[in-house]
Structure 1
C-alpha cells in the first residue's frame, strides 16, 4: 500500500484504515448498519455459496422481529442497467431454503424495495440479485440473466397489502452487507455508483465546467465509463494527486475525465518537471507520457492518437513517469495540464513522495503497480540483425544471395529469377540450383514499362531495400521493395495515373518453371497437388489473400494486399473482423487469381480487371513473395526433443522420457490464458526443477486473446478499441458484470474460472508481449513458447525469436493450429495463413480437427512442415503413427492416449540420431514400393543398416515388393535381413528376405530394419 502523510488522506482512506480490521475474511460486522445510505467499506465483503445457481452477488439482511412480511430497503448502487428486469432470489441463511413469498416494488440502479416472508426470526437472509444461467459450450458459454420469477402466493400478497404499485408500511429488514462470491467479483469500490443527486450536487459545485477531473491511484483502476464511482464523491479530489514511489520505479497514476456537459474532443496532456524544492533535483517533464494519447506502435513508430470523450462518458487517462534511480528521497511537485479542443485547460498538481528504496525491475515484478504499462511503448527487438540459422545477405550488382536461395532483380525492381539450392532431401544445401521462374515476374497494364531509376535504399545484414521508378504512357510506377535474410520479399508498388483512361487490366504475372508447381494450397484449395486450372475471386467471406505453390525444395507464396491492410481475426472469430478487400487488387469484385498450365510451366495471373482512372489516381498494388524452403530440416533434433504436452509432476515427465515439457494454461502454475505473470514464483520453482533434470519447459502464451485476470485490463480498455476487438459482448458472467463494453468473449477455462476476450489483430499489446517475454526468460527461466494459433504479425515473430535467442539461445517455439478450412474461419489453410512465421519456428503441431485420412500430398503441404524446412507432430486423435513416420512425426504425449515410449525406445535402439532421412518424395530414394498410395521413407546409416518406414493409404491390405538400390544403401543383399522388431501398439515382430512380398495392413504400415 502507498504511504501518505496523514494530512493528505481522503475521508475514504481514513475510514478504510479505521475499519479495515473488521473486513478480514469478508466477515459481517457484529452490529448491523441501519438505514445506511453512504457505502462505507464495512458494507462490502465476500461470502461462500454456489455461484453457478445463484450468481456472484448478494445482499445480507437481518430480521429481528416476527412478521408475516418485512421490507428490505436496499441502497445497492448497481452499475448494471435495467435491474428491474432481473431475478431476485431470497434464501434463509439458517435453513438454506428458498423463500417463495417474495414481492418487489421500486427497483432501479440506486435502490431496491424487496418484501419477503421470513421463516427464521431472528435470522439473516440472502438476497441474490444477479442470478444468471449458463448454457451452450463450457468453453464458450452463453450466460443470460432471467427475469423475475413470480413465486409469491396470491393469499400472502393480499393479506399483506402487496397488490399495489407502492410498498406498504412494513417492519424493515436491516441491510448488513453486500457480498461478492470473492474479491475478484467485488464491485467495491470502483463500481459502486454515485447517485443522481450526488452527481447533481457535484455539477452545482462546478457550474461552468464542461468537464470535471478526478485523480485516482493506480491501486484502483477506473472501471466504469457511464457512471461515477461513489469513491470520487467522497474523495472530492479534482485538481491534485499525491503518491509514493520508489527510486527507479516506473510510476503510474490516473486522471479521470467526466464529460459532464458536452463532448470533450482531442485531449492533450502536457507536463512540468516534478521538482524537489529542497535539493533542486527533478523528474523531467520529458519522462511523462499518457498512454491514451499516443505511444509507439507495433512497427516501432511514434504515433499520436485522438482521445475524445462523448458527453456523459468517463475516460481514464493513464499517466506514467520513470523515477530516476539517483534521486534524493523527498517530495517532488509539479503539474499536469489537461487540454481539450475549444475548452479552457485544467491543471492538476502532482506530488510524488520518493522513498529511499531502490526497486527491482522498475516495479515490474509487482503487477499491481501497473509499471508494465510502459511495455506498451517498447521498441525491443526492432533491428535488422540476422537471426540464426540465416546468414547475412550478399549483394553482387542485382543478384542477392541468402541461405539456400538466390534472387536476381530486373532494373525495374521485379524478380528476374529466383533460385533454390536446397536438395530434395532438405537435409542439406547443394551447389546446383533449381530455377523457380521460367520468365521474369511482371506487373502488366497493357503497355511496356520504361525504367527510369534503380537504387538500393537499405543495406543491412538482414535486410536489403530498393526503389525503382518506371513509367509508361498511362502510369508512373513507384516501386519500393525489400528482401530479408529468411527469404521474405515485400513489394509496395504504387501506380499514379498520368491521365484519364480506361484500363483493361492491371495484373501481376508469375510463370513457374517446369516441375516447380507440384503442390499448392490457398484460394479455397486444400493442400495437395497443384490443379491444372483455377479461377478464384476476391470475397470478404473468405480469409484468403495468398497462395503457396511449389515443390519440396523450391516454391513461392504470393500474398496480395494494399495500404489499408489490417490483420483479420482468426480461429473462430474471422467474421468478427474479416479481411479488408484490397481496393486495387479486388477492384469492386472484378479482380481475382487464375492458375493455368502453360505447357510444362504454370502461370499465376493475379488480375484486377477493367477500371476507369482519373489523372492523379493512386493505385496500391502491394504483394509479398516468400521463397521456400526457408532452411534445411533437422531430423536429429526431431529425435532428440521429446515432448510432453501437459502440466504434471517433474519426476513423472522425466521418467516418462520427455526432454521438453509444454505448460498449457488453466493449471496451477499458468492458470490464466496469455497472462503468465500471477504465479511466477511457482512457475520458476517448477522450471528450476525441470532444469535440474536437463529438461526444458515452454509455456502457453500468445496474443490472440487475453485473460480477464490481467491486472491491466481496465487500463487497456481505456485505450478505446486499440487492444481489444469490438463485439457483441456476452460470455462469462464476470465479463458482463464488470467489463460491460463492446468486446468479443473468447475461451473460458471453467476449471479456473478464467474468461478471455479477443484482442485486435495487431496493436501495442504486441509490444507489451515482447517485454513480457523478455521478463519471463530473464526472471522465470522459460525455455520458449507454445503458441496456440498466431494472432500477431511477421515482425512480431522476428522480435520474439530475437528476444529468446539473446537470453536463451536454446529456446524453442512450437506452433499449434486447428484446421481453419471451414466457414467460421473463412476457409483458410492454417499452413498458408501462418507461413510467414515458419522461418522462426522449431516445430509444428498442426492437426486439431484435421482428417488424417487425407492423401499424402495433403500431409506434405498442410501437416508435415517439410517443404518449408520444418518438422512436426500429429494431433487429432493421435494422428496415424504409421503414416506419421514417413515424415518423422509422432503424436504428442499424453493427449488422445498417445504414448511414444515404445517408439522412442526403438529410435534409440536403431540409432535414429545420425541417420540420413530420405523421404518418399526424393526421386532417387534407394527404396521404392512401385505404388502411388503405399510409400517408403528411409533412414539410412550408410554401409551398416537402414530403416524403412512403410505406410499405405489404400482402402485395403496391400502387397508390395520393395525395390531396393543396394549400392546406394551400401549393403550386400546376400548378407542382409529385413526385420520388423516388435514395437508395442505399433507392430508385431516379423522377418522377410530380400524380394519377399510385404503385406501392409490397411491404414497402417511397418518399420523394417535392413542390416
Structure 2
C-alpha cells in the first residue's frame, strides 16, 4: 500500500530499501519556500482525525545536534502551519513528534532544518531556528501516523543516498564484523560521491557484492571511488594498481589522492592519513582502452597503510559499445575531468607575445625594452630600461636604475672581526639559457659564512633569487642588510610598504607585521623605469586576498623578519635613493641556514597599446546582443550569476547556452569574455566532493558556516565566500596554490576550443604568475585574441592586509590587456600621482578604466580612461567614444603630462594636460585638481604639433554630459571648474 501511495505522489524517486526503517527520498520540485521552512521535510500520513497524532520519523540526519533545531509541522491540505506540536525526542537517527491533525485524515509535512539568513546578502549566515517552547502536550490515545518518505526541496539539495547515515547499532555491527581489521574499503560508483567524513552512509550497510558501477565508454576517463573506513588510525595510505589484462594495464590507473602534479608542474605524492572512525574517499580513474571489447572486466586494486597489512579490493567495470568524446570531458558530471587536476598543459616557459626571446651576451641578459647585467656574485649589477618617456615605444636611450650593484652587507656583532664575514665570490656560472628563462649560480665565501645565489630571469622581466646563507662557525651578527641603490630619476614614485601609490616620500621606515599586513615589498620607479621588489620566506605560501587575508596571512620570513626585528628603510644616501632591507641582530650556529630570497619585477613590461584602448570598448553586463551592438561596444564581459554563466568560477554547466550566445556575438563582430577565476568556487561544481577529499589542498581550513547548503552538505572546515541570493549559488574559498589551477588551465583551454570565448574577466586574482602565463598561452592559441582584463576593489584596507591592488597584482600585469580599478578607488580626492601609479597602469605598459561612482571623466581622459559601459548609468562613456571616432584617436600619439615632452602645458600646476596628436591636429585633455575655479593659460609648442599658430583654432566640441561646445581664442586663458576639465581640439582654422 505504501509503495502505491509513493508512486501516486511521486515520492518513490531515489528510494532506499524499506527494511530497517529506511525511508524513500524524493525531489520536492521547489514546492515550498526554503527561506522560511528549510530544504528538507518528512511526508507524514495521518489515517484519521483526532485530538493528537504521533509519528516516528527515522530520518537518519547527518547534521549535529538536531535537538537544537526547530520542528515545523504544516497541514498538507491548507498549507498552514500546525500550531499544536510537541517534540518528544529528537536524535540524529530519528524524531518522535506529536501534533494536532487540524484537517483530519490526510498528509502533513514535518520540516526539520528551517533557517533564516542573517548578515550581508552576499555573505549570509544561515542560522537554524531554535526549538519552539510551546506548552501544548498531546492527550492520551494519539493516532499513529506513518512517515511516507523524505522530500528535499530540489535535486541539488538531496541527501540521498550518500548523506543518509547508518545508525549507531548498524555501525557497531559492521565494526564487529570486521573486528581485528585496521580498515575496510568500500568501492563506490562515481554517481554517488562520498560526502561524509564522520558517518557511514546507510548505502554501505545494506550493500551486496559485487558493487555495481556505471557503464564505461571506450577511451573514457572512467572515475570510481574507494571509501576507506578506518577502524584505527591510518598513516600514509597508498593505492597501487596492477594489470587486469586485455589492455587494462596498471599505468592506465591513477589515484588523485595519492599521486599528483603540482600547479607548477612538479610531481608529488600527497600524504593521506585517516583518523580512527572516519571515512576517506580515494578518487581514482582508469582510461578505458579505445579498443576494449564491450563486456565486464574484473581486477583489483590494493590499499595499504604504513605498518599494516595490505587490502586487496576486487573491482569490476563494464564497458559499453559507445566511444567517449575527448575522453568524456564533455560530460564532467561523470567526473571525467579528474586527470585535469594533474595536468601540465602550457607549463613549458615558451615566450608569449609581445615579448621576445631572451638573449645573453657575456653577463648581460637582454629582454623586451630592458637588459640586466649580472655581477660575479650572481646579483644584479645594473638594470636598464629603454622605453620612451611617453611609454608609446621602445627607444635607444638607456635608463639605468642602479647607482651601484644590488648587494648584501653582513655586519658582525661589536667586537667581531669584519674580515671573517667578508664574502668573496668564486664567480658567475650560467646554468641554462633558453628563450623563456635564463638561470645562473654563484657562490661567495668567507671564514665564517657561505652565500649561495641562484637566480633566474624570465622573458617578461621577472627576476627570482634564492639566496642561501650558511654559517660555517658559530657567530653573532649585528645586522644583515640588503641594499638596492637606485638612481633618483628611477625612484620618483612608490607603491606599497603601508603607502598609497604616489610620489615617493623623502624617507620611509617600515617593519614586518604579517599578522595584519599583506606587505613584503614595494614598487619604486618612474613611468618608464622601475622595479618591484618582494622579500620572501623559503616556505612562502601565497596568502588569501580580498577580505580574507587575515584568515591566512603571510609567513614571516625567518631571515628577513627575524622575529619582528627586520624592516625596510628607504631614503637618500649620497647620490642614491637607497632601499635598505635589514634584519637586526641574531646568532647563527655552525650549520645554520637562512634563506634571503627575493623577487624583482622590472617595469615597464611593454609599451602602451593605445590603439587597443580606443578600438576595444567594453560592455560589462549580460544583455541582448543587438542592444550591445547598437550601443557601440565591441567586447562584452559576461559576469557570473547570468543565464549563460550562472555559477561562480564554474562555467561548465550552461556551456551550450554560452556557446550559442558567443556564436551569435561573433556573427555581429562582438567579442565575448567571461568571468572565470580561482579565488572561490561554486558549490555547484561537480568536483566539489573530490576537492574536499584532498583535505586542505584546494579548500582552505575555516570555521564553516555561511549559507545553509554549505552547512548541510559540506559540513565544517571551510571558509564560505560569495553568495548569490537570486540563484542560491554559494562559493567556498580556495586555499591558494594547488592543483585546482591545473584544472583551471585545462578548463580554459576547453572553453576556448569548444565554446569560443575571447578572453576572461578577472575579479581579483588568487593565483600566481605561473598560472597566469599558462592561461594566457591557452587563451591566445591558434590566433584567439585571449583578452584579459583585471578588476580589483581597492585592497588598501584592514581586511585585505593593507596592500595596494597594483602592488599585489603586478606579477600578472605582463599578461593583461586592461585594468579596471575599481570599487573604493576615490577618483575625486586622490592626487594625479595616485591616478598615475595605482589606477592608470601606464607605468607598466597598461591602460585602464574607472569604476567607483562612474569615475571622473575629465581626470580619466588625462590617462586615456573612461567609465565602463553597462555597469552604471553614471558618466556614460558613449559621448566620449563618439569624439574618439570623430577625432580619430586610433592611430594618434599619446603624449602624457608625465613625459616632459607634452607639447601643451598649463600655467596652473594643478591643471594638467595630455595631448593626443595626429598629423595637423591634436586633442588636448585638461583636468583640474585645484580646489576652486581657475583660469589657466596654455603654453603650446606649435612646431611639435605641426600647426601654424597664425591660423590655428582651439575649440571644445560639444560632448553630452561632459562639456558645452565653445571656441577659445589662442593665447586667452581657459576657465576650468574644480574636478573638471576640457577636451580641446587644436587644428588649422580651415579644417
TM-score range, shorter chain: over 0.9
Selected match of 1:371 from 336, 343, 359:
336
Q: What is the CA-CA distance between 1:205 and the residue it aligns to? A: 2.3
Q: What is the CA-CA distance between 1:807 and the residue it aligns to? A: 3.6
**Correspondences of 1:388-403 after superposition (within 5 Å):** 388-403=353-368
Q: 1:912 corresponds to which residue?
A: 889
Please state if 1:474 is matched with 2:430.
no
- Give the direction of change, closer, same or farther, for the CA distance of 1:444–1:20 in structure 2 (3 Å limit): farther
Q: Residues 718-738 of structure 1, C-alpha deviation per residue, up to 9 Å, x if partnerless?
A: 001110001011110000011
Q: Tell me if the contact between 1:420 and 1:433 (Cα under 8 Å) persists in the aligned partners.
A: yes
| Aligned mates of 1:961, 1:848 — CA distance in 2 | 35
Q: Tell me if the contact between 1:519 and 1:861 (Cα under 8 Å) persists in the aligned partners.
A: yes
Q: Tell me if the contact between 1:44 and 1:188 (Cα under 8 Å) persists in the aligned partners.
A: no
Which stretch has the larger CA shift, 208-217 or 761-770? 208-217
Selected match of 2:821 from 824, 842, 846:
846
Please state if 1:180 is matched with 2:152.
yes
Q: 1:983 corresponds to which residue?
A: 959
SS across alignment from 1:318: strand
Selected match of 2:923 from 934, 940, 947:
947
Q: 1:801 corresponds to which residue?
A: 776
Which stretch has the larger CA shift, 294-303 or 698-707? 294-303
Q: 2:558 corresponds to which residue?
A: 583
- Give the direction of change, closer, same or farther, for the CA distance of 1:732–1:197 in structure 2 (3 Å limit): same
| Aligned mates of 1:327, 1:102 — CA distance in 2 | 60
Which stretch has the larger CA shift, 495-504 or 201-210? 201-210
| Aligned mates of 1:688, 1:189 — CA distance in 2 | 40
SS across alignment from 1:826: coil
Structure 1's unaligned 5+ residue stretches are 1-17, 162-167, 276-280
Q: 2:352 corresponds to which residue?
A: 387
| Aligned mates of 2:20, 2:538 — CA distance in 1 | 57
SS across alignment from 1:332: strand
Q: Tell me if the contact between 1:507 and 1:606 (Cα under 8 Å) persists in the aligned partners.
A: yes
Q: Tell me if the contact between 1:19 and 1:41 (Cα under 8 Å) persists in the aligned partners.
A: no
Please state if 1:877 is matched with 2:849.
no
Q: 1:213 corresponds to which residue?
A: 185
Q: Residues 614-633 of structure 1, C-alpha deviation per residue, up to 9 Å, x if partnerless?
A: 01111100001111000000
Q: What is the CA-CA distance between 1:809 and the residue it aligns to? A: 3.4
Q: 1:136 corresponds to which residue?
A: 119
SS across alignment from 2:142: coil
Selected match of 2:227 from 256, 275, 281:
256
Q: 1:925 corresponds to which residue?
A: 902
Selected match of 1:283 from 211, 227, 248:
248
SS across alignment from 1:796: helix
Q: 1:958 corresponds to which residue?
A: 934
Q: 1:11 corresponds to which residue?
A: none
| Aligned mates of 2:963, 2:213 — CA distance in 1 | 73
Structure 2's unaligned 5+ residue stretches are 412-420
Q: 2:864 corresponds to which residue?
A: 888
- Give the direction of change, closer, same or farther, for the CA distance of 1:643–1:44 in structure 2 (3 Å limit): closer
Q: Tell me if the contact between 1:37 and 1:75 (Cα under 8 Å) persists in the aligned partners.
A: no
Selected match of 2:615 from 633, 640, 655:
640
| Aligned mates of 2:28, 2:979 — CA distance in 1 | 61
Please state if 1:822 is matched with 2:792.
no
Q: Residues 468-506 of structure 1, C-alpha deviation per residue, up to 9 Å, x if partnerless?
A: 011123211111000011111000000111110011111
Q: What is the CA-CA distance between 1:43 and the residue it aligns to? A: 6.4
| Aligned mates of 2:6, 2:670 — CA distance in 1 | 48
**Correspondences of 1:614-625 after superposition (within 5 Å):** 614-625=589-600
Q: 2:172 corresponds to which residue?
A: 200
Q: What is the CA-CA distance between 1:331 and the residue it aligns to? A: 3.0
- Give the direction of change, closer, same or farther, for the CA distance of 1:496–1:744 in structure 2 (3 Å limit): same
Q: What is the CA-CA distance between 1:23 and the residue it aligns to? A: 6.5
Q: Tell me if the contact between 2:16 and 2:22 (Cα under 8 Å) persists in the aligned partners.
A: no
Selected match of 2:86 from 85, 103, 120:
103
Selected match of 2:207 from 208, 225, 235:
235
Selected match of 1:710 from 667, 685, 698:
685
Which stretch has the larger CA shift, 334-343 or 625-634? 334-343
Please state if 1:855 is matched with 2:831.
yes
Q: What is the CA-CA distance between 1:66 and the residue it aligns to? A: 1.8
Q: What is the CA-CA distance between 1:37 and the residue it aligns to? A: 4.2
| Aligned mates of 1:511, 1:495 — CA distance in 2 | 22
| Aligned mates of 1:767, 1:218 — CA distance in 2 | 21
Q: 1:68 corresponds to which residue?
A: 51
| Aligned mates of 1:387, 1:335 — CA distance in 2 | 46
Q: 1:328 corresponds to which residue?
A: 293
**Correspondences of 1:457-496 after superposition (within 5 Å):** 457-496=431-470
| Aligned mates of 2:301, 2:427 — CA distance in 1 | 51
SS across alignment from 1:317: strand
SS across alignment from 1:406: strand
| Aligned mates of 1:680, 1:20 — CA distance in 2 | 40
Q: Tell me if the contact between 1:437 and 1:513 (Cα under 8 Å) persists in the aligned partners.
A: yes
Selected match of 1:752 from 716, 719, 727:
727
Please state if 1:764 is matched with 2:739.
yes
| Aligned mates of 1:720, 1:351 — CA distance in 2 | 28
- Give the direction of change, closer, same or farther, for the CA distance of 1:169–1:288 in structure 2 (3 Å limit): farther
Q: What is the CA-CA distance between 1:169 and the residue it aligns to? A: 5.5
Which stretch has the larger CA shift, 385-394 or 341-350? 341-350
Q: Tell me if the contact between 2:763 and 2:790 (Cα under 8 Å) persists in the aligned partners.
A: yes
Q: Tell me if the contact between 2:423 and 2:450 (Cα under 8 Å) persists in the aligned partners.
A: no
| Aligned mates of 1:329, 1:92 — CA distance in 2 | 52
| Aligned mates of 1:807, 1:702 — CA distance in 2 | 22
Please state if 1:777 is matched with 2:760.
no
Q: Tell me if the contact between 1:636 and 1:913 (Cα under 8 Å) persists in the aligned partners.
A: yes
Q: 2:718 corresponds to which residue?
A: 743
Please state if 1:271 is matched with 2:241.
yes
Q: What is the CA-CA distance between 1:291 and the residue it aligns to? A: 0.8
Q: What is the CA-CA distance between 1:679 and the residue it aligns to? A: 0.2
Q: Tell me if the contact between 1:777 and 1:808 (Cα under 8 Å) persists in the aligned partners.
A: no
| Aligned mates of 2:779, 2:408 — CA distance in 1 | 39
| Aligned mates of 2:211, 2:22 — CA distance in 1 | 24
Q: Tell me if the contact between 2:23 and 2:149 (Cα under 8 Å) persists in the aligned partners.
A: no
Q: Tell me if the contact between 1:876 and 1:896 (Cα under 8 Å) persists in the aligned partners.
A: no
Q: Tell me if the contact between 1:45 and 1:178 (Cα under 8 Å) persists in the aligned partners.
A: no
SS across alignment from 1:274: coil
| Aligned mates of 1:39, 1:920 — CA distance in 2 | 76
| Aligned mates of 1:56, 1:240 — CA distance in 2 | 31
| Aligned mates of 1:991, 1:319 — CA distance in 2 | 74
Please state if 1:438 is matched with 2:403.
yes
Q: Tell me if the contact between 1:34 and 1:175 (Cα under 8 Å) persists in the aligned partners.
A: no
Selected match of 2:913 from 922, 936, 956:
936
| Aligned mates of 1:426, 1:19 — CA distance in 2 | 76
SS across alignment from 1:921: helix
Q: What is the CA-CA distance between 1:83 and the residue it aligns to? A: 0.6
Q: Residues 397-432 of structure 1, C-alpha deviation per residue, up to 9 Å, x if partnerless?
A: 001111000111111111111111000110011111
SS across alignment from 1:766: helix
SS across alignment from 2:489: coil
| Aligned mates of 1:765, 1:392 — CA distance in 2 | 30
Which stretch has the larger CA shift, 863-872 or 339-348? 339-348
Please state if 1:145 is matched with 2:122.
no
Q: What is the CA-CA distance between 1:352 and the residue it aligns to? A: 1.9
Q: 1:649 corresponds to which residue?
A: 624
Q: Tell me if the contact between 1:45 and 1:177 (Cα under 8 Å) persists in the aligned partners.
A: no
Please state if 1:513 is matched with 2:506.
no
Q: What is the CA-CA distance between 1:51 and the residue it aligns to? A: 0.9
Q: TM-score, normalised by structure 2?
A: 0.96
| Aligned mates of 1:465, 1:880 — CA distance in 2 | 45
Q: Tell me if the contact between 1:515 and 1:601 (Cα under 8 Å) persists in the aligned partners.
A: no
SS across alignment from 2:849: coil
| Aligned mates of 2:662, 2:672 — CA distance in 1 | 6
Q: What is the CA-CA distance between 1:47 and the residue it aligns to? A: 5.0
Q: Residues 312-361 of structure 1, C-alpha deviation per residue, up to 9 Å, x if partnerless?
A: 11110101111222333333222100111122211111222222321111
Q: Tell me if the contact between 1:843 and 1:871 (Cα under 8 Å) persists in the aligned partners.
A: yes
Please state if 1:222 is matched with 2:197.
no
